Amino acid sequence: AGYREWEVEKVLTTCPHCATGCQYYLVVKDGKIVDTEAADGPSNHGLLCVKGRSGSFDFVHSPERLTHPLVRNSETGELEQATWDEALDLVASRMGALRDQFGGQALAAFACARSANEDIYMLQKMARTAFKTNNVDNCARVCHGPSVAGLAQTLGSGAMTNPITDIAENAEVIMLVGSNPEEAHPVIGMQLRKAVERGTKLIVVDPRDIGLARKADIHLKLNPGTNVAFANGMARELIHAGLIDQAFIDERSEGFADFAAMVEKYTPEFVAETCGIDARDLVAAAHTYGQAGAAAIVYCLGVTEHTGGTEGVMSLSNLAMITGNFGKPGCGVNPLRGQNNVQGACDMGATPGDFPGYQKQANPEVVARFEQHWGVEIPKWKGTYATDCFPKMISGDIKGLFIFGEDPVRTDPDTAHVIRALKSLDFLVVDDLFLTETAKYADVVLPGRSYAEKEGTFSNTERRVQRIRAAVTIPGETRLDTDIFIDLMNRMGYAQPQLTSAQIMDEIAELTPSFHGISHERLDSAEVAGAGLQWPCKGPDHPGTPIMHVGQFTRGKGAFSLAEYIPAAELPDADYPLMLTTGRVLAQYNACAMTDKTPGLNEISGSSFIEMNCEDAAALGVADGDRVRVSSRRGSIESTAHVSGKTNPGQTWMPFHFQDGNANWLTNAALDRICSTPEYKVCAVRVEKA
């Protein structure tokens, strides 16, 4: 990359894209990052994908970075450069006035799941102490909210039960459900592929021919939105075939009899018809999973992003429970979290009902402890999920919104609805690196700092807390996000002393039992030696917890759930005859805010496309590479047809990354019945030749 070893400094840090949490060195020459070099981290073992290798620093130095605060000129309507004092005074006075006139219910704050734990902790503290609101949430609401809600209900803790390396090395069978790790979590994908090549059996449950399906012993190419029927059918077959662990069920769980009775109607024939699969494949999958000494379920957004997402998660938990696949190596139920620190965003209490460490706001003792420590009264009412905030903006119940590092105009379903909601606000503040599509609607835009310009920690998908370190500063007037929040708290009447990132982690550890043993000092020490610490980590001598639920579940006994199959909210019909589902490609990340600043990644994959089955394409006169118009009840876009057999007839698939032909103009904002996560994975569309 055009440097000599003696010219550069190398700073060990954590990748800012997906939640694998790969460790690498930022190579810094003359104050600029010029390269990355893989490190031997606990989840990547010297591996990196193309995003970590080449897409992790161009955006830091991008000329598109915001370098000064912007304030909207009330006369011209344009965003104009302002001083920090002008911008922060305006935010404090307008948000403070809305709070004082309408109460904290009229304000909301969205946390950035790509930022550090310390930033997110301070954001939710600002919301609760200065905004006087529990309307604080993060983008887990649009991805793994059902994992947090579902696994908390069945196990008592909504996170991966086993580490990545443990699964790759010790599982006899891996069942991959609604997850395409070779594109979305590439370094995990590489490790799973190696495991299969060493002899681990693989069951893929996915509506598409993903890369790992070609390596699988069984591929259940089921209809999108039918996961619960599939899992209940698996459970019935396991029970009928005697492939259950009765001793584990008796000792460690509750509710089995009701569960066994409930799944009885999910016969192989019913499931085959509902899911569009061969009944013999379902039976074979059940026997392969049930006969393993250790079988791991690994899943992702194909399970969660449904109106029945939480039920989907709980139905997978049931499978592991009846087979005793908890609390030992190579097993468990493992949600692959999306963004680098979306696990941390939930851990840090950026959700309406939870304080840090999932301490419940509904518990008066928890609230009292935070009130005593923070020295302020905290609102007691139940906050609103982010996805439920949008209708409340339109109705005028929410009037002021602070968005930290999120871009809902690009990422949330039904874009027209999101824009209408943002336009309805009295006051919108965006703290970001770039003038995103969302920031264009803001009254004030605040330039924060990237992962390469700050100290802190990320929590990867394995609950592993790892360090990020400041490597560079960029020209201009960006500020640490924690300093922005602290400054605003003080301007809005809450006396918050200045704290460093390490001091903030000390406060988190003091208030959060599962983080009691975590500090920057310990993470930097020879004892931890770059391995991070996996929570729960209950004290300074506690080694962390790689495998959860050993001997006992977090909630005591594991709970079976009676999750029933309910069809998706919008199915194809005469007007919109095809089903659309969405997902990720390897070379980009989410709304591309960071990855599209690297030209090489755009060359690999730089624009929208729609995968169609050959039969559907032929019927519409569409050839591979043709431009097509894709319409749903909510919007219409142009895209490029990729014609193949990857999806079944009647089904289409689009990546959700691209601004040209953004799939979210089409997706449905129907919400999960329990935790309000949108059903990105199923909606009805019409495709025509453009």
Q: Provide the binding-site residues for ligand SF4, judged by CB under 6 A.
A: 15, 17-18, 20-22, 44, 48-49, 51-52, 185-187
Q: What are phi and psi for residue 30, nearest 5 degrees?
A: 50, 45
Toward ligand SF4, which CB reaches closer, 288 or 461? 461
Contact by Cβ (8 Å): 381, 105: yes
Toward ligand SF4, which CB reaches closer, 18 or 663? 18
Toward ligand SF4, which CB reaches closer, 231 or 336? 336
Alpha helices in 375-464 (DSSP H): 386-395, 408-411, 415-424
Q: Give residue number: closest CB to ligand SF4.
A: 52
Residue 540, C-beta contacts closer than 8 angstroms, at least 6 positions apart: 516, 517, 519, 522
Contact by Cβ (8 Å): 55, 589: yes
Toward ligand SF4, which CB reaches closer, 18 or 271? 18
Toward ligand SF4, which CB reaches closer, 43 or 318? 43
Q: Which of 602, 681, 603, 687 is nearest to 643 (CA)?
A: 687
Minimum distance of ligand SF4 from residue 179's CB (angstroms) = 13
Buried b / exposed e across 31-65, counting CB within 10 Å, b at 16+? eebbbbebbebbbbbebbbbbbbbbbbbbbbbeeb
Q: Which of 467, 399, 406 is nearest to 427 (CA)?
A: 399
Both tokens of 422, joined, read: 């943002």
Residue type, 111: A
Minimum distance of ligand SF4 from residue 47's CB (angstroms) = 7
> If you ran DSSP here, which 8-state letter would residue 213 be given?
G
Minimum distance of ligand SF4 from residue 201's CB (angstroms) = 24
Residue type, 34: V
Toward ligand SF4, which CB reaches closer, 15 or 300? 15
Minimum distance of ligand SF4 from residue 584's CB (angstroms) = 10
Toward ligand SF4, which CB reaches closer, 48 or 303? 48
Toward ligand SF4, which CB reaches closer, 494 or 589? 589
Contact by Cβ (8 Å): 316, 303: yes
Contact by Cβ (8 Å): 152, 129: no
CA distance 17 to 15: 6
Strands 23-29, 9-14: pairing is antiparallel
Minimum distance of ligand SF4 from residue 306's CB (angstroms) = 24
Minimum distance of ligand SF4 from residue 15's CB (angstroms) = 3
Contact by Cβ (8 Å): 466, 458: yes
Minimum distance of ligand SF4 from residue 190's CB (angstroms) = 8
Minimum distance of ligand SF4 from residue 611's CB (angstroms) = 22
Alpha helices in 201-243 (DSSP H): 227-240
Minimum distance of ligand SF4 from residue 658's CB (angstroms) = 18
Toward ligand SF4, which CB reaches closer, 193 or 236? 193
Contact by Cβ (8 Å): 140, 345: yes
CA distance 564 to 338: 26
